[in-house]
Structure 1
Amino acid sequence: MGLVVETKYGKVEGFSEEGINKWLGIPYAKPPIGKLRFKRTEKCVPWAGVKETKNHGNKPHQFLDTKLTDIPASEDCLFLNIWAPREAKDLPVFVWIYGGAYSIGECSDPNYDGTNFAKDGVIYVAFNYRLGVLGFYDFSIYDDSFDSNCGVADQIEALIWIKENIATFGGDSNNITIAGESAGAASVINMLAAPKSKGLFNKAIAESPIPGCVHNHYSTKLNMNLFLKVTKIAPGEVYKLKTLHPDEMKHAAEYLLFNNCNLYPGIFLPGPVIDDLIPEHPIDAISKGCAKDIKLIIGTNDDDGALFVKVEATMFPSSWEQVRKMLELNHCIDKLEDLHQLYDGLSENKQMKELAKDRAFLIDSIKVADRQSGYNSTWMYRFDYAPILTRLVGLKSVHGVEVPIALDNLGRGVIRRFWKGAPKKVMYKLRDDMHTAWVNFAKNSDPNRDLDMYWPNYNAEIRATFIFNENNRVVMNPSEKNYDVWNDIKLYID
């Protein structure tokens, strides 16, 4: 296979590095700029000649104060990257969807480099999608000239492009695994439930997803009203956002992310909404068999909540006073004593971290696994290992710590710093176990091969969960008490 490849929209020229062929910055959709701001994705415009794809494309505008790379941010950001072995032909395809609270992230982040997947004989693809105000804030509730779920539309269009074009890069279009972490993992769950994504992939991996972060009209309006209040834009004047620079939106977006929970404890950050792209809550759709053709790996980290509960800025309740308010607002105050008993014996800070984990990540992940396992092969895991650095700062097996392990990128990206000083023997064993399981799944539809112990299929009766740690083990129904308490707590549903 040459480095000039003809896609459905035109020819692209990549380059070879480390024995791997790479194409960086391939446009997969029409730039969502000008009149296409706040509109759903449109098909890519074909080009003449050969487009050079040797550098990352622009990253999306970021809506949290962070800096992952020096790549310029732009609304013209709908690009994807491909890594492939030389002479690739009919190889399995692994598609990564980045996380970042639907507010930050980019496929050019070194954490998401695909070199080592390609070395393992897998085509690796990562793509950008619009974030924050431009991608996931729903102003259509005020003005129907705005579209909802623009970021979701980006993700679907990227998957369509990959399905239609990946064979020319050496991939098997009938063997595609989508994967992601955090909001990226939630996006994976959303793709399971999105009718327009049906047939675009065969397998899915969700690392610490937030499956419940899909808003109805009620919770959407609570978030959007707060955002508009900070921007000093009246609901009837949301058209002003169509010409406002994204940097002028950022302050209000950050305020919303860290203050909506003060007003409405337990509410999720802005994200996808129920509409024609996601017609019903993904957990409900999955329970009806909408993803019956998809095999799934899903799991969480044992300390997923530690990153989100702080003294001041927090995305989840940070005190029992807020927990009480959360339950009162949602007409389930009778659950307060059950929650107290569930976390009894822990410090209040640890109680809030555990509550955040259960609320956002663990319980809904179990619900997804319970329902999907009734239709197709499902595997569940928990990542328990805490590197020395995260232990020292009290984060332990923190949200995202497994990403460089799973993607075999311990030498790249910001997250690798979590692993500074970790014993190499343990670190590389975890990498070999988890990354190998992901590669096995992409290749063979089963994570089992070369693991030090068998990872059994999950079902709702015994809930077999593979524990990744210094010494791996399998535990049956490890979160039974937590699930029983949280199962029927309904928050912001009306």
Structure 2
Amino acid sequence: MKDTLRRGWLAAAGLCLVIAAGTVTVPARGELAAQVRVAGGVLQGTALADAAILSYKGIPYAEPPTGDRRWRPPVPAGSWQGVRDATAFGKSCLQPPPVPTSIYYGGMTPSGEDCLTLNVWAPAGARELPVMVWIHGGALMGGGSSEPLYDGTKIAQQGVVFVSINYRVGLLGFLAHPALSAEAPDGLSGNYGLLDQIEALRWVRDNIAAFGGDPAKVTIAGESAGGLSTIALMASPQAHGLFRAAITQSGYMPAYRALREEVLGLASAEAMGAALGAAAGATDVASLRAADLVGLFRAGMATGWAPEPVIDGVTLKRQLADTFALGEQARVPVLAGFNEGEIRSLPFLMPKNVPDTKAAYQADVRRRFGDGAAAFLSLYPGDDPREDAAASIRDGLYGWAAQYVARQQAAVGQAAYLYYFRHSTPAQRERGLAAFHASEIPYIFGQVGPEAALGPNWPRPPLTADETRLSAAMMGYWLSFVRDGVPRAPGEAAWPRYAAREAPYLDIAGRPVAGSGLQAGPFAYADALVASRRQQGRGWRLDIGFSAF
């Protein structure tokens, strides 16, 4: 009935739109209405920026993963009758309530299980344009595509079709359990969130032409857990062929649990899930699906469970680092990098026992690291103990992953581009948050002006020409890479292609400049640590940097 009334109202108002498969017709006289037909039916979107940009929000790409579909792989979305309203974001995927004091707080839609939706921004009249698919961060525990920071309007204004996606997070996205594996036709469990991302990419392949995007020109991109997801999608055989380039910002690549076997000293994913279920009194499929999710979450906290990809032999065949070492990853161009102040806004990554003085710091390192102390102290001597400890964790977690991915892509003949983001603002420095985790995102999305969609706790950039220019430069580099796999920005430094010997990169502090040999010592140290752990049959997770031993 609502769809019928909507169509009648539009017709009465004279907002007649032509609807054809694969075609977006812009409404006459700039009315705020737009329709497009996709495989599931007709979508009603919104015209923005004087009808130059069309946006469609809350588009289902998979059936709601509720009831009996909870903890199952995604099922492609079915069709609907009439015109579906696509003017508002769907729910964020179910997650703990956001923390109001967090720097990342603000603007996301309420969460729920019926959340497998995506959003599209496209230039009006677009045809065969490149596509950027954004995967949100949130430690695989939270986040959502509705975060205002990820608004795609300004990216679409640069001639790129922009897509942002939701995927299951936390317990609903990554719980492996023997009972869930036993009921699955393929005998697997876990990785539901990663499978959601793959299903969303399939939807993009099959439907993006309707918005003027080219399904052969898709670049996946993400930051933090989105950067990790990008790396995992590059490693997953099931995602190969669904994208032609990848961007990973502050991604990471620790060792992960195998589905059933203990590997690298890590209990299996099924064993961790079974312990969680037992703690919550849910030991079979029926009791798991009937269990109170808050109780399950508390059981996860009590048993040390955390959401992470699962090495199941199918979606992820082996450890991500091993996949890249063997050249089995998607052979596509990559843009990768990390931020100087990653750990400043992530205090939970810092060990609680960092000594206060240089002498105590060095004595502690010598006691714990033994013969490895000299190598560590040559890189992180402890002149400022907390800063050096944070730098060592940054380099071992984010820096190593960015450089490793760039190096391995270059090794298989693919173009790779590395960056180091060091820019900070007065507001950041006043709060000890210079170049913090995710602080590069506003520049890439053009969110530095007075209308910037930043959360209430975000240190806002000053309204200066330098800030505007840096945003224009970063948008230029990123979107040029989306267009043709080479990052360029008019009037800015040439970004050198990565090669292992010189390790060139783009240094983004004030105006971007080319450099070489980024963090050569820390990268070599982290490389050696990971190699040593693998030889010893031990994993590497957050016990890197100052926490390594």
In the superposition, the TM-score normalised over structure 1's length comes to 0.88
Q: What's 2:308 paired with? A: 271
Mark the runs of 5 or more structure 2 residues left unpaired by the alignment: 1-23, 26-33, 100-104, 356-360, 541-549
- The DSSP-based 3-state class of the residue aligned with 1:435 is helix
Task: Give the whole-Å Cα distance in 2 for the aligned partners of 1:65 and 1:366.
Answer: 32
1:274 maps to a residue whose letter is I
Residue of structure 2 in register with 1:22 after alignment: 55
Q: Which residue of 2 aligns with 1:263?
A: none
Q: Within 5 A, what are the aligned runs for 1:277-356?
A: 277-291=315-329, 293-309=331-347, 314-319=348-353, 334-356=371-393
The one-letter amino acid paired with 1:36 is R
Q: Which amino acid aligns with 1:200?
A: L
From 146, 155, 163, the equivalent of 1:125 is 163
SS at match of 1:212: coil
Read off the aligned partner of 1:82 and give its amino acid letter.
Answer: V
Give the 3-state SS of the residue equivalent to 1:14 in structure 2.
strand
Q: Distance in 2 between matches of 1:241 and 1:332?
A: 43
Read off the aligned partner of 2:288 and give its amino acid letter. Answer: L
Q: Cα–Cα, structure 1 residues 362 and 371, in superposed 2: closer, same or farther, change >3 Å? A: same
Aligned 8 A contact 2:231 2:248 in 1: yes
Among 368, 387, 391, the residue aligned to 2:429? 391
- Which of 458, 461, 477 lines up with 2:501 in the alignment? 461
**2:104 counterpart of 1:58:** no
- DSSP 3-state at the match of 1:15: strand
Paired amino acid for 1:181? E
Q: Tell me, yes or no, if the aligned pair for 1:301 and 1:397 is still in contact at 8 Å.
A: yes
Quick one: distance in 1 between partners of 2:207 and 2:461? 42
User: 1: CA distance between counterparts of 2:278 and 2:469?
Assistant: 49
**Whole-Å separation in 2 of the counterparts to 1:7 and 1:235:** 41
Could you tell me which residue of structure 2 aligns to residue 246 of structure 1?
293
1: distance between equivalents of 2:231 and 2:354? Answer: 30
1:76 aligns with 2:117: no
Q: 2:226 aligns with which of 161, 184, 204?
A: 184
Shift of 1:365: 1.7
Whole-angstrom distance in 2 between the partners of 1:214 and 1:426: 42
Equivalent AA in structure 2 for residue 8 of structure 1: A
Q: Give TM-score, length-normalised by structure 2.
A: 0.80
SS at match of 2:122: strand
Asked if the contact 2:379/2:522 (under 8 Å) is kept, the reply is: yes
Query: What amino acid does structure 2 have at the position aligned with 1:184?
Result: G
2:433 & 2:57 partners in 1: Cα distance?
34
Q: Matches of 1:398 and 1:227 in 2, distance apart? A: 37
Give the counterpart letter for 1:493 in structure 2: G
The range that moved more, 66-75 or 36-45, is 66-75
Deviations 1:382-441 (A, max 9, x none): 000111122122221111000111121234443585442536222112201111111111
1:10 corresponds to 2:41: yes
What aligned pairs does 1:40-439 form with structure 2 within 5 A after superposition? 40-63=73-96, 65-66=98-99, 68-69=106-107, 71-140=109-178, 144-145=182-183, 147-212=189-254, 214-216=256-258, 217-218=261-262, 219=266, 221=268, 225=272, 228=275, 232-233=279-280, 236=283, 240-252=287-299, 270-275=307-312, 276-291=314-329, 293-309=331-347, 314-319=348-353, 334-374=371-411, 375-410=413-448, 411-414=451-454, 418-420=458-460, 422=462, 424-439=464-479
- Cα 1:349/1:79, change in 2 over 3 Å: same
Specify the alignment match of 1:442 in structure 2.
Answer: 482
**Amino acid across the alignment from 1:24:** K
Which of 518, 522, 529 is 1:482 aligned to? 522
Task: Label 1:106 to 1:224 Cα distance change in 2 as closer, same or farther (>3 A).
Answer: farther
Change (3 A) 1:141 1:485: farther
| The one of 65, 69, 79 aligned to 1:32 | 65
Distance 2:285 2:403 in 1: 38
Q: Percent identity?
A: 27
Alpha-carbon contact 1:64-1:103 (below 8 Å) kept:
no
Secondary structure of the corresponding residue to residue 439 of structure 1: helix
Cα distance in structure 1, aligned partners of 2:241 and 2:389: 40
Say whether the 8 Å CA contact 1:382–1:468 is kept in structure 2: yes
Counterpart for residue 539 of structure 2: 493
* 1:308–1:353 CA contact under 8 A, matched in 2: no
Query: What is the distance in 2 between the residues matched to 1:390 and 1:220?
Result: 40
Match of 2:291, SS state, is: coil
What letter is aligned with 2:290? Answer: T
CA distance in 2, matches of 1:182, 1:57: 22
SS of the residue 1:380 aligns to: strand
CA apart distance, 1:339: 2.4
TM-aligned CA distance change 1:72 to 1:220, over 3 Å: farther
Q: CA separation of 1:451/1:252 partners in 2, compared to 1, >3 Å: closer, same or farther?
A: farther
Aligned partners of 1:156 and 1:197 also within 8 Å: yes
- Alignment-mate amino acid for residue 175 of structure 2: Y
CA 1:101–1:334 in structure 2 vs 1: closer, same or farther (change >3 Å)? farther
Q: Deviations over 1:345-369 (max 9, x none)?
A: 3322212211221221111221111
Task: Structure 1: state its 5+ residue gaps.
Answer: 261-267
How far apart are residue 91 of structure 1 and its match?
Answer: 0.9
Amino acid at match of 1:348: P
383-392 vs 22-31, greater mean Cα deviation:
383-392
- Distance, in Å, in 2 between the alignment partners of 1:227 and 1:112 is 36
Please report how far the alpha carbon of residue 253 of structure 1 lies from its aligned counterpart in structure 2 after TM superposition.
Answer: 5.1
